[in-house]
Every structure is written in C-alpha cells, then in structure tokens.
C-alpha cells in the first residue's frame, strides 16, 4: 500500500515516514504544498496524510484540487487545528479522516489501516481467500492451520492482491502501490516477488491461489 505524507514540520515528517515504512507501507513524502500536490496528482496513492498549514499551497487547497480532479485517494488530515469548524471544513472538503496533533502513532496507523479497508471495500480486518487467511492488523498469514512467515515486501504484495481478491491486478498496479516514487526497482521485481510468494504460499496438495493471467497480470483466489 502506498502512502503520501505532506507535512512541513521536519521532525514530524521524518518520524512519520520512518514509522509508516516500518509498518510496511511504501511512503512518499514532502514538506512543500505545491510539491505535495504534484505527487498526489502524479500517481494513485492509497492514503494521503495531509497537514493543513503548508508553505506554497495550503492543505485545504490541495484537498480541494485533488477532489476537483476526481482523485480517489483517501485523505487523512493531520493538523494542530482542533476546532469544530476546522474539522467540519476539512471533512466537508472531501477528507476521509481528521486527526489532531499531537497524536499517538498507533492511532494513526490504525486509522490508515481503516482507510485502506474502506478503500478496498473490505470491512473485515481478517481476509479469507479460500483456505488462506490474512490478519491485516497483526500482518500474519495462515494457509489452512499453518502460519506462513513472509518478509514485509512479500506481505505487502499479498495484502494488495488479497484486497483485490478475485480481480486481475496488473503488474503496473502492483508496482505503483508497493514501490515508492524514489525506488529504483523496475516493474520486473513484481514477477520476482510473485515467485517468492508462490513458493511460500502454494502447496502441492492444495489448490492454486495465485494465478497468472497472461498479458494482463495476476489474480488471487478463484475466478470471480
């Protein structure tokens, strides 16, 4: 899952980015409003964490422009402005959530996860695809009764496929949602990681979970 953090206060921006990356997200980050808008319109982020008082362009203005362009990214406003009017204005401009500084990092993570579930219309934090179970909160995976250990990268790939289970997911989509803007990796790494994932998940005695759809991408679970 790929996030964008637009926050002008450097210590906060740095720790947010670090914490979110460690939680398994691909995070792009900027301290400038105009640059943030450029990032946000350039690729499809799952969640944008947006400060309101920014140099260049104000946070609310960024939000207005994103929504005017029809971008579907979920936006979480992260600000020190805590008045009722500020919250209402932010949410009414098209934000999906509002968190007041200072905040607990755990809460921010939980809210980001909630936004991700909402984005992929998944109410249950425990996804089941056939006999594969994924706990989105603890990031643990089971096939049948056996728990499977995955690296953060592998988990992120599986989570994304699971969120879109039953749909064919293109290689570009996967790459866009799992790799940061500054990442030097090419979309070929997707095939490599699909290979790693298959090796850990597939069992000879069980049905195939990850299907290759020739020329279009990959699909988790059965054909819908």
Partner 1 sequence: MTRSLRTRLLTRIIVATILLLTIFSLTVYLVIRSALVKQFDTSLASVARILAASVELDGDEIELEFEVRKMPEFQSAKHPTYYQLWKPDGTVVARSPLLGADDLARLEGGVDALVFGKSRMPDNRPVRAVGLKFKPRAADSDEEGHPHLTAEQTLTLVVARDPSDLMSQLRFLRWLLLTASAAVITLSLLIAAVVVRQGLRPLNSIAGEIAAISQESLTTRIGAESAPSEVVPIKDRLNDLLARLEDAFNRERRFTADVAHELRTPLAGLRSTIEVTLSRARDTAEYQTALSDCLGIVENMHIMVSNLLTLARLDAHQVTLRTEQIRLAELVNSSWRPLRDKAEQRGIAFENHIPVDLTCQSDPEHLSIVFRNLLENAAEYTNQAGQIRIAAQRTGDSLQVTFSNTGCKLTAEQVSKVLDSFWRADESRSDATVHSGLGLALVKRIITALNGAVTAQIDKPGTFTIELTLPCPRTQ
Which residues contact partner 1 by CB under 8 A? Answer: 8-12, 14-16, 18-19, 22, 31, 33, 53-56, 58, 80-83, 100-106
Cβ-contact 158, 202 below 8 angstroms: no
Closest to partner 1 by CB, 49 vs 95, is 49
The radius of gyration computed from the CA coordinates of the chain, to the nearest angstrom, equals: 18
Closest to partner 1 by CB, 18 vs 216, is 18
Contacts of 58 (CB under 8 A, 6+ apart): 33, 52
Q: CB 104 → partner 1: shortest distance, Å?
A: 7
Cβ-contact 134, 221 below 8 angstroms: no
Closest to partner 1 by CB, 32 vs 131, is 32
Cβ-contact 7, 16 below 8 angstroms: yes
Q: CB 23 → partner 1: shortest distance, Å?
A: 8
Closest to partner 1 by CB, 108 vs 169, is 108
218 CB-contact burial (10 Å; exposed 0-12 / middle 13-18 / buried 19+): buried
Closest to partner 1 by CB, 24 vs 171, is 24
Contacts of 137 (CB under 8 A, 6+ apart): 113, 125
Q: CB 218 → partner 1: shortest distance, Å?
A: 31
Cβ-contact 25, 155 below 8 angstroms: no
- Nearest 5°: the CA angle 153, 156, 162 is 145
Distance separating alpha carbons of residues 155 and 140, to the nearest angstrom: 8
Q: CB 189 → partner 1: shortest distance, Å?
A: 25
Closest to partner 1 by CB, 55 vs 144, is 55
Q: CB 178 → partner 1: shortest distance, Å?
A: 21
Q: CB 59 → partner 1: shortest distance, Å?
A: 10
């Amino acid at each position: 899952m790929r996030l964008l953090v637009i926050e002008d206060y450097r210590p906060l921006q740095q720790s947010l980015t670090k914490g979110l990356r460690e939680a398994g997200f691909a995070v792009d980050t900027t301290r400038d409003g105009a640059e943030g808008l450029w990032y946000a319109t350039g690729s499809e982020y799952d969640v944008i964490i947006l400060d309101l008082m920014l140099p260049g362009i104000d946070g609310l203005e960024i939000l207005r422009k994103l929504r005017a362009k029809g971008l579907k990214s979920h936006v979480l406003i992260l600000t020190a402005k805590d008045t009722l009017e500020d919250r209402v204005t932010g949410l009414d401009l098209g934000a999906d959530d509002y968190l007041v500084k200072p905040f607990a990092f755990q809460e921010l993570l939980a809210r980001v996860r909630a936004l991700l579930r909402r984005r992929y219309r998944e109410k249950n934090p425990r996804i089941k695809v056939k006999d594969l179970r994924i706990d989105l909160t603890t990031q643990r995976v089971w096939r049948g009764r056996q728990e499977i250990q995955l690296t953060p990268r592998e988990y992120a790939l599986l989570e994304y496929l699971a969120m879109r289970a039953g749909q064919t997911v293109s290689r570009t989509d996967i790459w866009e949602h799992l790799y940061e803007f500054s990442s030097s990796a090419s979309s070929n790494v997707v095939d490599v990681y699909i290979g790693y994932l298959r090796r850990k998940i597939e069992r000879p005695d069980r049905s195939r979970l990850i299907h290759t759809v020739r020329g279009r991408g990959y699909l988790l679970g059965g054909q819908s």
